């Protein structure tokens, strides 16, 4: 860090484009829907964690309002599940959008952060080392740095698992057909039945879904921490990427690395 | 009993007069039905044309009746004998055939045929093997105080071998079994109850005067059976004997024979499901459509959670919190008391137990998932929600949340350590630029931190 700062004056500060509008939309859709999934999912797992009391057992105005009315009016679990499924739809769309852009984005496809593979893995280790020594910051430019790229990819694999286990639980209530036809449950069965074998039946699938939720929570905290850390330590405005789409760079970037 | 050698169905169906009124089940249904066009249940598609379906079934039943009865008189008497002995009236029996017909998801036109098949069932050669089990299914079928027709039929089936009720013993019993296998090759019904130990070459279970292993007996009996049925969870999937760590290597029936096995799991299996499956086998001549776990779709295609009368309370967020609390009195959902209905496919809420009048959720206890594979491992703890179960991960003895929170805590500590380290390090770097000094301390800290925070 010191070296980087001393060798280059701040007048070299360059603006680098990092996130297209679509990617930013995907990022914040994911953010909102995942927060939604965590809240509604935890309610599904532990219906008492949030409201604490059932409508007719309500003994305080707050829980009374939250759970007011007759059984048929309350439907808290229905709403939680409904919002969970709505969030699931957003996650699915975002996921496949991300997958498409990872390869076919015209501006900054993710795969560029992995090629050539040997170099990039090396760079990843350098970044890790930099996290612990604060020295020799690898260059950051137009493309995501390999360490982030790998962690984000891993995170999307978690999302994919969450989708597979989630749809397996979802298809459980179908009996062979649906309002839109038999293809819908059939497709879900084809795509997600493997989870039953891998995780040991529907209960195992549910537990996996719950456990991955924790991994995702951990990712979120790590992710926010490391972006703030970068912004403070590098002083390159990394945190601005998902808002404005740009960051700054002090590194002497070659033409094709900046934009 | 109608004589059913008629070939061109729909025309004759209406003409048939109920002239044999004295016969046991001259059916009232038939007169009511003037439209024989129905859509054959797609679950069990044996022919596209409804008439053809009825023809196939009728000729099937006629052949079987010829084989096991001596003429019409014998058929009618058999009915009377079976049911009068158990004080079931003809009316009750007809009600029951209607029930079973609809349970089988068949149109009413099948009700008289179901009755005929039930009658034939009492004469079909039948071998009932008991392996590693508690005889719970036997007990449940044989010992009801007020048996339903399903249970009566099971009591009256012509059992050629069933250890708990047969008269012969020792060598005689085995001779009887071997005789049946030879005499009725490819025809007899084989019902197996209990898991089959396979460890030590099956020596954990030896049966009979010759001390044969259960493994040998099932293999030999299954080879020539007409239809093979595994009744109860143990025979279907290994059940309790196969629970972790399964020292006897117990497995379900389908794992020891390469022939098709119809699984009727549950603990104990519902007699309606067993008799229904046998009746359907007699009607169609082949096994019903099975799901991916080998269970007949007509009985096991519905998830309990979706057919439970407490589901409204589930959706409303109204749950029983403790046994006997207010919610329990109001029959709230048992989700928080560990109900495994959301993970279990069975027809308990429809066919019901105990003289067809109750099932666990009605009685106020959650489902324990007894019709699913490995329920003893996967559905436990029975009285706690699934989320409180231990996750299946080697060397981890924790629930998903305990483990998740622990990881989260560890990650938090790591992040905090890294943040502090960054702050300290930066200040140091600013203060003195002596590189040698720096490197020494760095190494110290690196070693410590790298182990704690290696994301
Ligand atoms: C549920 C919460 C969040 C999730 C799941 C999430 C996920 C992601 C993912 C997957 C990427 C990579 C995008 C890509 O590959 O195109 C990313 C990038 C980024 N996110 Fe988030 N994010 C979350 C919240 C936040 C928050 C709250 C902030 C900060 C305010 C933030 C800041 C960033 C930044 C700065 C990047 C760009 C990293 C780079 O390109 O080097 N994220 N996020
Ligand atoms: C970031 C993504 C997600 C998170 C954090 C999340 C979290 C959760 C949690 C904690 C539960 C409760 C598990 C339990 O009962 O023990 C749950 C249940 C469930 N989730 Fe998700 N989930 C996510 C994505 C999805 C997706 C994509 C689907 C796809 C349809 C889905 C479908 C379901 C279903 C069907 C249930 C069970 C609901 C029920 O039992 O009625 N989830 N989720
Ligand atoms: S009692 Fe069990 S099966 Fe019935 S609604 Fe509640 S969780 Fe579902
Ligand atoms: S309700 Fe559940 S535990 Fe009870 S018999 Fe049915 S499947 Fe088995």
Could you please report the per-residue DSSP string of B34-85? -----PPPGGG-S-SSHHHHHHHHHHHHHHHHHHH-SHHHHHHHHHHHHHHH
Cα separation of B446 and B123, whole Å? 82
B420 CB contacts (<8 Å, ≥6 apart)?
none
- Residue percentage of chain A with pLDDT more than 90: 47
With H, G, I as helix, E, B as strand and everything else as coil, classify residue B127. Answer: strand
> Is the distance from CB of A9 to CB of A145 less than 8 angstroms?
no
Listing DSSP states for A83-151 in one string gives HHHHHHHHHHHHHHHHHHHHHH-SS--GGGGTSSHHHHHHHHHHHHHHHHH--SPPP--SSPPHHHHHH
Q: Residues lining ligand 2, judged by CB closer than 6 Å? A: A 34, 37-38, 41-42, 44-45, 81, 84-85, 88, 91, 162-163, 166-167, 169-170, 206, 209-210, 213, 216; B 342, 386-387
| Residue B314 beta carbon below 6 angstroms from any ligand 3 atom | yes
| Residue B269 beta carbon below 6 angstroms from any ligand 4 atom | no
How much is the pLDDT for A61? 54
- The total number of residues shown for chain A amounts to 259
How much is the pLDDT for B433? 58
How many separate helices (H) and strands (E) can be counted in chain A?
Answer: 12, 2
User: By mean pLDDT, which of A125-134, A137-146, B80-89 is the weakest?
Assistant: B80-89
Whole-structure pTM value: 0.84
How much is the pLDDT for B388? 86
How much is the pLDDT for A213? 96
- How large is the average pLDDT for residues B124-136? 90
Tens of pLDDT along B28-71?
444 433 334 444 454 456 666 778 888 888 888 999 999 888 88
Which residues 69-128 of A are in CB contact (within 8 Å) with B?
Answer: 71-72, 74-78
A55 at B interface, C-beta within 8 A: yes
* Nearest ligand 1 atom, CA A216: 5
Binary contact (A215, B373; C-beta < 8 A): no
**A1 contact residues in B (CB cutoff 8 A):** 426, 429
How much is the pLDDT for B169? 85
Which DSSP state fits B263?
E
Tens of pLDDT along B291-317?
889 999 888 988 999 999 999 889 888
pLDDT at B236 over 80: yes
Cα-Cα-Cα-Cα dihedral sign, residues B91, B97, B103, B109 = negative
Distance of CA B410 to the CA centre of its chain: 44
- Residue percentage of chain B with pLDDT more than 70: 84
**pLDDT bucket at B442, cuts 50 / 70 / 90:** low
Q: Which range among A46-50, A104-108, A224-228 has the greatest average pLDDT?
A: A224-228
Fold adopted by B304-388: Cytochrome-c3 Hydrogenase; Chain A, domain 2 (4.10.480)
Delimit the domains of chain B by residue range.
Answer: 2-300, 304-388, 403-455
Helices (H), B238-333: 271-284, 297-300, 304-307, 311-316, 326-329
- Domains annotated for chain A, with CATH where assigned, are 2-252 (1.20.950.20)
Tens of pLDDT along A4-60?
444 444 457 788 888 889 999 999 999 999 999 999 999 999 886 544 444 455 555
pLDDT at B149 over 80: no
pLDDT at B261 over 60: yes
Cα(B358) to centroid(ligand 4), Å: 11
- How large is the average pLDDT for residues B334-349? 93
Q: Provide the mean pLDDT of chain B.
A: 81
Cα separation of B170 and B174, whole Å? 7
pLDDT at B360 over 80: yes
Residue with tokens 């560990």: B338
Q: What is the CATH number of domain B2-300?
A: 3.40.50.700
> How large is the ipTM?
0.84
Helix, strand, coil: what percent of chain A each, to 5?
Answer: 75, 5, 25
Cα separation of A174 and A185, whole Å? 7
B78 CB contacts (<8 Å, ≥6 apart)?
B69, B119, B122, B123
Q: How far is residue B190 from each of residues A210, B68, B104, B142, B280, measured CA to CA in Å? A: 42, 17, 21, 17, 15
């Amino acid at each position: 860090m010191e070296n980087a700062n001393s060798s280059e004056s701040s007048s070299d500060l360059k603006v680098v484009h990092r996130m297209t509008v679509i990617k930013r939309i995907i990022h914040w859709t994911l953010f909102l829907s995942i927060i939604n999934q965590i809240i509604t999912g935890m309610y599904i797992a532990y219906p008492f964690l949030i409201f604490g009391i059932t409508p007719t057992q309500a003994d305080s105005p707050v829980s009374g309002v939250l759970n007011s009315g007759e059984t048929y009016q309350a439907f808290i679990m229905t709403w939680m599940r409904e919002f969970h499924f709505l969030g699931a739809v957003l996650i699915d769309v975002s996921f496949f959008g991300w997958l498409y852009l990872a390869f076919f984005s015209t501006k900054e496809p993710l795969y560029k952060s992995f090629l050539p593979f040997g170099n990039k893995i090396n760079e990843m280790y350098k970044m890790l080392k930099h996290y612990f020594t604060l020295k020799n910051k690898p260059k950051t430019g137009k493309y995501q740095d390999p360490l982030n790229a790998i962690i984000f990819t891993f995170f999307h694999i978690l999302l994919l698992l969450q989708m597979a286990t989630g749809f397996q639980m979802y298809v459980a209530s179908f009996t062979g057909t649906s309002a839109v036809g038999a293809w819908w449950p059939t497709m879900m069965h084809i795509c997600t039945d493997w989870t039953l074998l891998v995780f040991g039946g529907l209960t195992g699938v549910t537990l996996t879904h719950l456990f991955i939720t924790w991994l995702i929570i951990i990712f979120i905290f790590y992710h926010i921490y490391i972006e703030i850390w970068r912004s403070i330590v590098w002083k390159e405005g990394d945190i601005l990427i998902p808002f404005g789409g740009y960051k700054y760079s002090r590194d002497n970037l070659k033409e094709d690395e900046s934009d | 009993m109608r004589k059913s050698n008629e070939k061109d169905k729909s025309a004759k169906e209406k003409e048939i007069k109920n002239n044999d009124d004295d016969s046991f089940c001259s059916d009232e249904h038939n007169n009511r039905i003037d439209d024989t066009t129905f859509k054959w249940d797609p679950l069990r598609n044996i022919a596209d044309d409804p008439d053809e379906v009825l023809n196939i079934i009728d000729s099937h039943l006629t052949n079987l009746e010829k084989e096991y009865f001596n003429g019409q008189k014998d058929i009618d008497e058999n009915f009377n004998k079976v049911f009068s002995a158990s004080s079931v009236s003809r009316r009750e029996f007809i009600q029951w055939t209607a029930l079973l017909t609809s349970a089988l998801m068949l149109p009413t036109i099948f009700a008289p045929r179901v009755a005929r098949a039930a009658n034939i069932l009492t004469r079909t050669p039948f071998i009932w093997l008991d392996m590693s089990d508690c005889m719970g299914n036997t007990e449940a079928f044989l010992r009801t105080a007020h048996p339903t027709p399903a249970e009566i039929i099971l009591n009256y089936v012509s059992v050629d071998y069933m250890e708990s009720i047969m008269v012969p013993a020792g060598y005689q019993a085995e001779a009887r079994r071997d005789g049946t296998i030879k005499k009725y090759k490819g025809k007899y019904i084989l019902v197996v109850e209990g898991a089959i130990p396979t460890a030590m070459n099956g020596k954990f279970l030896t049966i009979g005067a010759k001390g044969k292993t259960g493994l040998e007996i099932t293999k030999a009996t299954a080879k020539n059976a007409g239809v093979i049925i595994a009744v109860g969870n143990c025979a279907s999937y290994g059940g309790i004997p196969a629970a972790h760590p399964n020292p006897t290597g117990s497995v379900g029936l389908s794992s020891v024979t390469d022939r098709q096995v119809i699984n009727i799991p549950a603990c104990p299996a519902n007699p309606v499901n067993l008799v229904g499956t046998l009746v359907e086998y007699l009607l169609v001549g082949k096994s019903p459509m099975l799901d991916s776990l080998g269970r007949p779709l007509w009985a096991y295609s519905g998830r309990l959670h979706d057919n439970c009368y407490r589901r409204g309370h589930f959706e409303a967020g109204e749950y029983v919190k403790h046994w006997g609390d207010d919610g329990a009195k109001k029959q709230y959902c048992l989700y928080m008391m560990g109900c495994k209905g959301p993970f279990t496919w069975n027809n308990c809420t429809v066919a019901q137990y105990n003289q067809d009048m109750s099932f666990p959720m009605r009685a106020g206890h959650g489902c324990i998932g007894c019709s699913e594979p490995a329920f003893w491992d996967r559905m436990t703890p029975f009285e706690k929600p699934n989320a409180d179960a231990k996750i299946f991960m080697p060397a981890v003895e924790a629930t998903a949340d305990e483990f998740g929170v622990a990881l989260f805590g560890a990650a938090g500590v790591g992040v905090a350590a890294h943040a502090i380290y960054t702050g300290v390090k930066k200040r140091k770097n600013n203060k003195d630029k002596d590189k040698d000094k720096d490197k020494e301390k760095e190494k110290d800290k690196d070693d410590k931190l790298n182990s704690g925070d290696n994301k």
